[in-house]
Amino acid sequence: MLDELPESEPFMPFRRWLDEAWQGEPNAHAMTLATTTSEGRPSARAVLLKGLDDRGFVFYTNLESRKSRELLTNPHAALCFMWKSLNRQVRVEGPVELVSDEEADAYFASRPHHSQIGAWASDQSQPLPSRAELERRVEEFARRFPEGAVPRPPHWSGFRVVPVSIEFWQERPFRLHDRLLFVREGTEWRRERLFP
């Protein structure tokens, strides 16, 4: 329950909830990422949390993808983690920044070789004439980088959502849910309960 979140900042309780979610959900690090087009039309998709510290929540992607184009046009996003096994949800909102080249290089180097090849082969979000074309491109880059270190593609990096608000939601009977909102005020966080 939210009474068990005594912290004055949101990152420690988030890490604790994420650790608990891993016990029952194989994709506990999956989060819905919401962005908007330049016209203000929303779009959402699931991505994977790949980094977390007191600066924010990090995911990686092709910089030419639809989500990247939207974030580069309007650098603000919302995240939603939903852990049904725990009847919990966490919502995050804030501006977005690119991770450093060093962070992107380090994460890319940690990926399996086939995933590294896939990052080179895929023109993410672009029209694909056939599955055979994708497979041909995978084979082409597998020949180009047969083994060993694969350099990070210039069109591949990560984004960090820098939270200005983080809301914890715990399901309770009769829709009388618990909600606790952390709002960043300078370097401090303000806590407040919300009606369900």
Tell me the per-residue pLDDT of 41-100, one tens digit each, with 9 for 90 and over. Answer: 999 999 999 999 999 999 999 999 999 999 999 999 999 999 999 999 999 999 999 999
- Could you give the domains of the chain? 2-193 (2.30.110.10)
Per-chain mean pLDDT for the chain: 94
Residue 148 has pLDDT above 90, yes or no: no
> What secondary structure, in 3-state letters, does the chain show?
CHHHCCCCCCHHHHHHHHHHHHCCCCCCCEEEEEEECCCCCEEEEEEECCEEECCEEEEEEECCCHHHHHHHHCCEEEEEEEEHHHCEEEEEEEEEEECCHHHHHHHHHHCCHHHHHHHHHCCCCCCCCCHHHHHHHHHHHHHHCCCCCCCCCCCEEEEEECCCEEEEEECCHHHCCEEEEEEEECCEEEEEECCC
Res 125 pLDDT > 70: yes
Lowest mean pLDDT, pick from 11-20, 67-76, 151-160, 173-182: 173-182
Confidence label for 149 from pLDDT (cuts 50, 70 and 90): confident
| Whole-prediction pTM | 0.93
pLDDT digits (tens, 9 = 90+) for 150-172: 999 999 999 999 999 999 999 98
For residue 147, the model assigns a pLDDT of 83
Give the active site residues: 175
Pick from 60, 73, 67: nearest CA to 29: 60
